[in-house]
Structure formats: structure tokens, C-alpha cells
A = this chain, B = another copy of it.
Amino acid sequence: MNLDDLILVSVDDHVIEPPNLFEGRLSAKYQDKAPRLIERADGAMAWVYEGIEIPNVALNAVAGRPREELGFEPASLAQLRPGCYDVHSRVRDMDANGVLGSMSFPSFVRFCGQLFMNTPDREQAAAMVRAYNDWHIDDWAGSYPGRFIPLALPMLWDAEATAAEVRRVAAKGCHALTFSSNPFALGLPSIHTDYWDPVWKACVETGTVVCMHLGSSSQSPTTSPDAPIEVLYSLSPINLFEAAADVLWSPMFRKFPELRVALSEGGTGWVPYFLERVDYIYNHTRPWTKTDLGGRLPSEIFNEHVISCFIDDAVGIETRAHLNIDNVMWECDYPHSDTTWPHSPELVDKRLAGVPDADINKITHLNAIRHFQYDPFAHIPRELATVGALRRRAEGWDISPKPAAQRAAESAGTWRSLLSRG
């Protein structure tokens, strides 16, 4: 396949939330309670909610910055590439990278809305989640029909409320739920209990995929406090290795045979080893554990129910015969540190060299279209959806790296206006 003919849909990107997110989306009772984006004395910005300050971390929005500058210091929106927070700029950044569609995970509310878990007034917390989801679906994704796969936050403290929210957003066309890769680690019932059954039931009934993003357990695996940062990065996929084991051996797929879980930003290269390992365990332990998987091997259950997602993973492609190619999806991870933006098509083209076109199309877009009931071609003709066509449209759009200070100076006074264009 020619690079220009690829059609790319990324099932893992991130939105840095804009300041007007909650505006006009809450009842009078709760409008004043909504999170606010403040400018701090040191020039950085932070969200404030219930007295807690959540700084934007520069590493969360590195697209377009020279790599030498990255770090954990808090940042101002003015220092960031507008595509991080402004949907109009985002779509142009997607065009420039040849990306047709994107699913955008949240930032300051954390991967599955952990921020709202400790709100004493549960009704208030639920109102915040609904407002966030409405903004995400109607404003972020809704501004550009066909360009985004909407994604909803759960109400983590209440399975029934989450089930109701899954149904409410499904009616608005949203078929992805961001959920914790380990609710027990958040102080909630584990997925080995019956507690989450209403959520799984709602997901099955509405054809919604449960997306467990790396980090959504709120745990960062590391070895010791003095280990260098690279140890933490090296171990981050362990989060989802754990989630894979957890969902596989939980009763959820036996109780809900149509349920699907996506391991967002989990990678694929470890999956063949994992599948061999779980079958080995099953064969060695089943005589005494008496575990009943209904006549199937653990690897078969995984390959039917679990969707693997990767950014750039040569080993995963090399060993793909062990995977269910219908359940493998590509990710761009814009604007995080691991992103391949703005060179994603070149990397995808290189990695998928030798893969049959039919499988390339599944991995790059057809699987995402099917799993998330996402229909970009209802809005954008296929011939205008390719890498080549999108990049032609973006000609002249500046994608060169720019130091944060320079960007801040250039955008002073103008970045706010971007947000009121819509």
C-alpha cells in the first residue's frame, strides 16, 4: 500500500481541556462549583476544583516542542501548541499528520474521571461528569463530524449511575467509555465482584467498548524512589499487562459474552507472550483450581474480547499471527511524549511493510470504525480521507517545533481568542 493511500484513525489521543469547558453546561446550583482554570503567579496554569489545584504538566502536551525542553514543570496553555486544547487547530494538526479520526482521552480530570470521585456531593459530581461528557461529545467531537470518536467518563462511585450515563451518551452517538484498568486500586470494588455488572450490561446493550487507558489505575509502577524516570517509563505497560490478566480471569466475559475491553496505550508486542503464558498456567493449574472457562482457552477469550492498541510496535507486528487482527488498533498519542506526530504515516508505513493491505486497513481504521460505531465516511468521502488528501489540505500549516517561550510570546493575547471562534 502507498503511504498516501493509508487511512489513519487514532484510538488514543489526548485533549488538554480548554477553560470554557463547563461554561453554560451546568445548572445554576452547580455552575459556581465547576472546575476553573487559573493563571498562577509563576505564569503556569492550573485547574482548581474543590480547593485542589491540578497543574498542567508540560510533558502532557509536548507535540510541537523541542524535545530538549521537556520536563515535569507546570505549563501555561499559551506555551502549548493550540492543537492541544483548541479543536479547530487540532483538526489541522490531524490533517498535517494525515490522521482522519481521533479518540481523545481527558487530562486534568484524569484518565477515567478520578478527579470527581471524592466530591462529597454525589449529585454535584454526577453533574460535572455529564457536563464534561456533553462538552466532549457536542463541542469537541461535535464540531467536526466524522473527525472524532467520542469517549465518555464514568461516574466511578456508582455503577448504576454509570450505566445510565452509558445509555445517555450512547443515544448521542458515543460508544466508548473510559474506565479504570483497576478500580480496586482506586478504592472501589474489583472487577471480580458483581458490582460492575450494570455497567457491563449497559455497554453490551449499547455496543459500547470499555477503554482502560494506561495509568487509569492511578498507580505508577516503579521499583524504588531513587530509580531514574526511565524505569517508570519502561514499566508503564505493566499497568495494562495487569489489566489484561485481571479482565481475563474475572467473570465479566463469561457473564457478558459480547463485552469488549480496549487496552488503550498498552502496546501489542507483549501480548503473544502473555497469551502463551496464560494458556500454560491454565493447563498446569486447572486440575486443582477447577477454574471453568467454558471449554475455551484463556488466549481464545482474550483474542475475542480484548482489543490491543499500539503506537509503534515492530515486535507486535512481527508476532501478529498470535493476535486476533480484528482486535488490533493504531494510536497516535498526540500530544503526549510518546506521540509519533507529525510523522505518523511514515512510521506506520515502515512498520506495516509486508502486512497484507486488508490487515493494514483493519489496523489503521476499519477495526476502530466497527468497534466504536464510528462512521467517518458518512461525512467525509473516502478519497478525501486518506493521508495524501488530508496532508494536501494542510499545506502551509506550520508543524515546526517551537520553544515554549517563543510560542508564549507569539501567542500572547491571541490564544484565548482561538477558543471563542467556535
User: Which residues of A pack against B, CB within 8 Å?
Assistant: 66-71, 182, 184-185, 190, 192-193, 221, 223-224, 226-231, 233-235, 237-238, 241-246, 248-250, 267, 269-270, 272-274, 276-278, 280-282, 284-285, 287-289, 291, 298, 312-316, 318-319, 322, 337-338
**A314 vs B273: C-alpha distance when bound (angstroms):** 8
Measured CA separation A224–B217 after assembly (Å): 12
Write out the residue numbers on chain B whose beta carbons fall within 8 Å of the beta carbon of A243.
Answer: 223
In the complex, what distance in Å separates the CA atom of A274 from the CA atom of B270?
8
Question: 9 nearest interchain CB pairs?
Answer: A269-B273, A184-B224, A67-B287, A190-B224, A234-B245, A70-B288, A68-B287, A223-B246, A270-B273
Q: Are A291 and B246 in contact (CB under 8 A)?
A: no
With A71-B288, A221-B242, A228-B291 already in contact, 18 other A-B pairs whose C-beta atoms are closer than 8 Å: A67-B284, A68-B288, A69-B288, A185-B224, A190-B224, A224-B246, A228-B249, A230-B282, A230-B291, A231-B245, A233-B281, A233-B285, A234-B244, A235-B241, A238-B238, A241-B241, A267-B277, A273-B316
A291: chain B residues at CB < 8 Å are 228, 230
Q: Interface centre among A221, A230, A289, A337, by most B CB within 10 Å? A: A230
Least CB distance, A237 to chain B, in whole angstroms? 7
Chain B nearest Cβ from A49, distance in angstroms: 28
Minimal beta-carbon separation of A117 from chain B (angstroms): 17
27 contacts between A and B (CB under 8 A): A66-B287, A68-B288, A70-B288, A182-B223, A184-B223, A185-B223, A192-B224, A223-B242, A223-B243, A223-B245, A223-B246, A227-B249, A228-B249, A229-B285, A229-B289, A230-B245, A230-B281, A231-B246, A233-B285, A235-B241, A238-B241, A267-B273, A269-B277, A270-B270, A270-B273, A270-B274, A273-B273
**A221, B223: Cα distance in complex, Å:** 12
The CA-CA distance from A235 to B280 in the complex, in Å, is 13
Q: Give the distance to chain B from A361, nearest Cβ to Cβ, in Å.
A: 24
**B249 adjacent to A230 (CB under 8 Å):** yes
- Chain B residues closer than 8 Å to A182, beta-carbon distance: 223-224
Max chain B Cβ within 10 angstroms of own Cβ: one of A277, A298, A312: A277
Please state if B288 and A226 are interface contacts (CB–CB under 8 Å): no
A200 to chain B, nearest CB (A): 17
Alpha-carbon gap, A66 to B286, bound state (A): 12
Query: What chain B residues lie within 8 Å of A228 (beta carbons)?
Result: 192, 249, 289, 291
**Residues from chain B with Cβ under 8 Å of A230 in the complex:** 245, 249, 278, 281-282, 285, 289, 291, 298
